[in-house]
Amino acid sequence: MKDFMLLFRGASKQYEFSPEEMQGHMQKWIAWVDQLKSKNIYVSGEPLLPDGKTVAGKKAVVTDGPFAESKEIIGGFFIIKAASIEEATEIAKDSPDLPLDGTVEVREVMKM
């Protein structure tokens, strides 16, 4: 099995949710994580706050950011185990944010 990172972007519609709707949506995430854990393919994951800093260039210039459209902001990540990128992509199709116009980027973690 290989490690893959799932990067969750967008799903800005959730910010329009009432507290009850948000709680229901979070229950979907919890259920998905529990399902992945029961199959021993979930390694780790965390949500990310929208604010941050960007460091760029030879002079390591620091700016506030990222300043991206809400659909491009990375909201969190998972590390999962899968046999191939195709299998990891199939797993990503169950993301609770996809019905909210979210996207999931699937990347293999390089072994060093």
Query: Residues 3, 46, 23, 71: what is their CA dihedral angle, to the nearest 10 degrees?
Result: -80
Q: What is the pTM assigned to this prediction?
A: 0.85
Residue 67 confidence class, pLDDT cut points 50, 70, 90? low
Q: What contacts 42, CB < 8 A, 6 or more positions away? A: 33, 36, 78, 80, 81
User: 72-108: per-residue pLDDT in tens?
Assistant: 788 899 999 999 999 999 999 999 999 988 999 999 9
Determine the topology of domain 2-108 in CATH. Answer: Alpha-Beta Plaits (3.30.70)
